[in-house]
Amino acid sequence: MGARKKVVIAGGGFAGVQLAENLDHKLFDVLLVDKLNHHQFQPLFYQVATSQLEPASITFPFRHVFGRKRNLRIRMAHVEEIDIARNRVLTSMGSFPYDILVIATGCTTHFFGNREIGRHVFTLKTTYDAIRIRNHIIRTFEQIISAGTEELESMLNLVIVGAGPTGVELAGAFAEIKKNILPRDYPGIDFSRFRIYLIEGSPDTLGSMSALARKASRRYLEAMGVTILTGTLVKNYDGRRVELSNGGQIFSRTVIWAAGITGNLIPGLPAGSAEGAGRIRVDRFNRVDGLDNIYAVGDIAWMETPRYPRGHPQVANVAINQAKNLARNLKRMEHGRPFRPYEYRDLGSMATIGRNKAVVDLPFLKFKGLFAWLVWMLLHLMLILSVRNKLVIFINWAWAYLFKDSSLRLILEPENIHPREDRKEPGIS
In order of their start, the domains of the chain are 5-109+262-334 (3.50.50.60), 115-259 (3.50.50.100)
Q: What pLDDT, on the 0 to 100 scale, is given for residue 423? A: 47
Q: What pLDDT, on the 0 to 100 scale, is given for residue 426? A: 40
pTM above threshold 0.85: yes
CB 286 within 8 A of CB 303: yes
Q: What pLDDT, on the 0 to 100 scale, is given for residue 125? A: 93
Count the Cβ atoms, other than its own, within 10 Å of residue 205.
Answer: 31
CA dihedral 397, 400, 403, 409 (to 10 degrees): 150
Question: Residue 197's closest CA among 152, 140, 248, 141?
Answer: 248
The Cα-based distances of 165 to 43, 247, 249, 332, 361 in angstroms read: 9, 26, 24, 37, 13
Rounded CA-CA distance 46/53 in Å is 9
Q: What pLDDT, on the 0 to 100 scale, is given for residue 225? A: 96
Residues with Cβ within 8 Å of 228's Cβ and at least 6 positions away in sequence, in order, are: 163, 197, 198, 200, 205, 218, 221, 222
Rounded CA-CA distance 83/86 in Å is 6
Q: What pLDDT, on the 0 to 100 scale, is given for residue 288? A: 96
Q: What pLDDT, on the 0 to 100 scale, is given for residue 424? A: 44
Report the DSSP pairing between strands 234-237 and 227-230: unpaired
- Report phi then psi at 34, rounded to 5: -150, 150
Reading the chain (429 residues) residue by residue, the pLDDT tens digits are 568 999 999 999 999 999 999 999 999 999 999 999 999 999 999 999 998 899 999 999 999 999 888 899 999 999 999 999 999 999 999 999 999 999 999 999 989 888 899 999 999 999 999 999 999 999 998 898 888 877 898 999 999 999 999 999 999 999 999 998 888 888 888 888 999 999 999 999 999 999 999 999 999 999 999 999 999 999 999 999 999 999 999 999 999 999 989 999 999 999 889 987 899 999 999 999 999 999 999 999 999 999 999 899 999 999 999 999 999 999 999 999 999 999 898 888 999 999 999 999 998 999 999 999 999 999 999 989 888 899 999 998 988 888 777 655 666 566 655 545 444 444 444
Residues with Cβ within 8 Å of 88's Cβ and at least 6 positions away in sequence, in order, are: 95, 96, 97, 98
Rounded CA-CA distance 113/136 in Å is 25
Question: Residue 209's closest CA among 31, 422, 359?
Answer: 359
